[in-house]
Amino acid sequence: MTPSQDIDGLYAAAEQAFFSGNHDTARTHADAVLHAQPEHAAALHLRGLIALEAKEPGGAAHWIEHALRVRPDPIFCNSLAVVQIRSGALADGAASAQRGLELASRLPAVSIDTSVLAFNLGVALQLNDDMEAAEQAYGSVLASNPAHSGAHNNLGLVLNALGDVEAAIVHHRRAYELDPSNLEARSNMGHMMLAAGRYEEAWPHFEYRWAALGNNRGERGARPSELPVPQWLGGTAAKQDGRLFIVYEQGLGDALQFCRFFPLALSHFPTVGFNCPQPLRRLFEDSFGARYPQLKLFDDIPSDWRDWDWHSPMLSLPMALGIGLQHLASAPCRYLRADPQRAGYWRERLAQVAPRGVPRVGIVWAGGKINAHMDGMRSIPPAQIERLLASPRAHWISLQKADDAAKELAPAHRPNVTDWMSEITDFADTAALVESLDLVIAADTSVAHLAAAMGKRVWLLNRYAGCWRWLRGRADSPWYPGLRLFNQAERGNWADVLAKVIDALEAEFSAREPH
């Protein structure tokens, strides 16, 4: 056997081991190839793939870039694009995918499905928020491969981001039809149908929300835990004395929005349990405890399910209860309450700082870190919110819990801004403070749900093509009669939104002067 045959055999063994999932053996063989022939392009590329599987993106990029210097190859470009996308170098990922497409057009002898490169180009552009270019990239994928389920699904997300929710539904539906295992597409279809107001049609698809959004531990695509009692899907309980346990999921804002269905669940079951997150525990006790003693709050889901006959994920309640958009108007709109004693304490504090006759307006400008990409879209930079806080028409009460120094206001003396949030420990405290406010202006956060569910007037600062729960093209919300939407007219433009809010404040409160 010649030395070249030895190298070929070693490389073949490395490649076979890699695709068999034996990455340590693959690394050993690939390193042996590179020891004998340091410029072996295929082995350099394979070494990069091994590093990628080992979650070493820096090392993966190093090896694949070396392979490309040895031999420009569209396949290597595609691998590098994947590495860069996964590491967050999105502009570099788009450039690598584009280079691969250009190489493929010049090297027809190289066997590669260019739709793979075009798809990864679309992914990089989409994640980098260049939606118009991403739409073109996914369109080129579908032009050559109309049955590409992933491209249909991602194009649906892009079209929704560009404001065309009905076109998004078409592509998500097609993605799911082409590949019924693509449950993310089914989840996305449900979310888009909800955004379009097609609630009854949407809820069965929304049951697959875990595929796109993950569970309450932030694990994307994690299936919900299997529970030993059946899920309640509606209708009369199997037993007259049946007991339902509602399982918390997603985020605190979702719990504040969907806890309105607790009383309806109690109309079907004599006993209902709920594993209540600690930040909501006192608030829910204040709001439901005296009125609904059959509602039992727990710290965690049961370890022993013998006391329960059914379960329901919290966001599955509307499907089980048959909730359509038209039913929301008849649901209780003031279902959360502040403890009177705590509210009285904050009322006295406010009287000491807010001039008599000046409206007291709560303000929240940023969300939390559960989803960094979404948080970036829904949050308003502090430098921009300063313009609103300069308005003399209100005494501003900060309701913002900043989890990041970048979300904090710049140090400044603001006689018309009060911040007591360091004294707020949970949502019961927040509710007590909100109780004495005339208005709450908020980004799309849990505080907006809290204030609106208390019956307070809320002006919600809503990103372009925002969350499904605010529908599309509306200035009001069927979920909360006292909520008014100030929607972005174009992606990322908060300046126009804030200008409209300032005008609305002027119109609302100009007649009120301190005295």
Residue 165: inside a domain: yes
Residue 352: inside a domain: yes
Q: What confidence category does residue 5 fall into, taking pLDDT thresholds of 50, 70 and 90? A: low
pLDDT in tens, 20-76: 999 999 999 999 999 999 999 999 999 999 999 999 989 999 999 999 999 999 999
Same domain, 372 and 324: no
Q: What confidence category does residue 170 fall into, taking pLDDT thresholds of 50, 70 and 90? A: very high
Same domain, 345 and 443: yes
Q: What is the span of the domain harbouring residue 10?
A: 3-210
End of a domain among 189, 210, 231? 210
Average pLDDT over residues 275-287: 98
Same domain, 345 and 277: no
Confidence (pLDDT) at 218? 44
Confidence (pLDDT) at 443? 96
Residue 322: inside a domain: yes
End of a domain among 280, 303, 330? 330
Same domain, 156 and 277: no
The answer on pLDDT for 92 being more than 50 is yes
Confidence (pLDDT) at 112? 77
Same domain, 259 and 382: no
Q: DSSP for 353-387?
A: HSPTTS-EEEEE----SSSHHHHHHH---HHHHHH
Number of domains within the chain: 3
Residue 309: inside a domain: yes
Residue 483: inside a domain: yes
Residue 223: inside a domain: no
Same domain, 344 and 492: yes
Confidence (pLDDT) at 97? 98
Confidence (pLDDT) at 212? 76
Are residues 334 and 263 in contact, defined by beta-carbon separation less than 8 angstroms? no
Q: What are phi and psi of 381, to 5 degrees?
A: -60, 140
Confidence (pLDDT) at 3? 58
The helix/strand/coil state of 425 is coil
Average pLDDT over residues 411-440: 93
Confidence (pLDDT) at 265? 95
End of a domain among 330, 359, 383? 330
CATH number for the domain harbouring residue 59: 1.25.40.10
Are residues 276 and 298 in contact, defined by beta-carbon separation less than 8 angstroms? yes
For residue 481, list its beta bridge partners. none
Confidence (pLDDT) at 240? 63
Confidence (pLDDT) at 510? 76
Confidence (pLDDT) at 429? 98
Same domain, 317 and 349: no
Average pLDDT over residues 380-408: 88
The helix/strand/coil state of 128 is coil
Same domain, 74 and 185: yes
Confidence (pLDDT) at 195? 97
The answer on pLDDT for 217 being more than 60 is no
Same domain, 261 and 374: no
Confidence (pLDDT) at 384? 93
The answer on pLDDT for 370 being more than 80 is no
CATH number for the domain harbouring residue 414: 3.40.50.2000
Locus of tokens 């190289």:
110
Give CA–CA dist 14/20, Å, rounded.
Answer: 10
CA distance readout (Å), 105 to 41, 95, 101, 112, 346: 20, 15, 6, 11, 69
Same domain, 129 and 258: no
Give CA–CA dist 364/440, Å, rounded.
Answer: 8
Average pLDDT over residues 302-315: 95
Residue 229: inside a domain: no
Give CA–CA dist 78/100, Å, rounded.
Answer: 6
Give CA–CA dist 52/75, Å, rounded.
Answer: 15
Same domain, 63 and 119: yes
Q: What confidence category does residue 225 fall into, taking pLDDT thresholds of 50, 70 and 90? A: confident
The overall average pLDDT reported for the chain is 91
pLDDT in tens, 241-261: 689 999 999 899 999 999 999
Residue 460: inside a domain: yes
User: What's this model's pTM, rounded to 2 decimal places?
Assistant: 0.90
Same domain, 351 and 319: no
Confidence (pLDDT) at 354? 87
Please report how the helices 74-86 and 90-106 are oriented relative to each other, as an axis angle in degrees rounded to 10: 170
Least confident of 84-93, 312-321, 330-339: 330-339
The helix/strand/coil state of 308 is coil
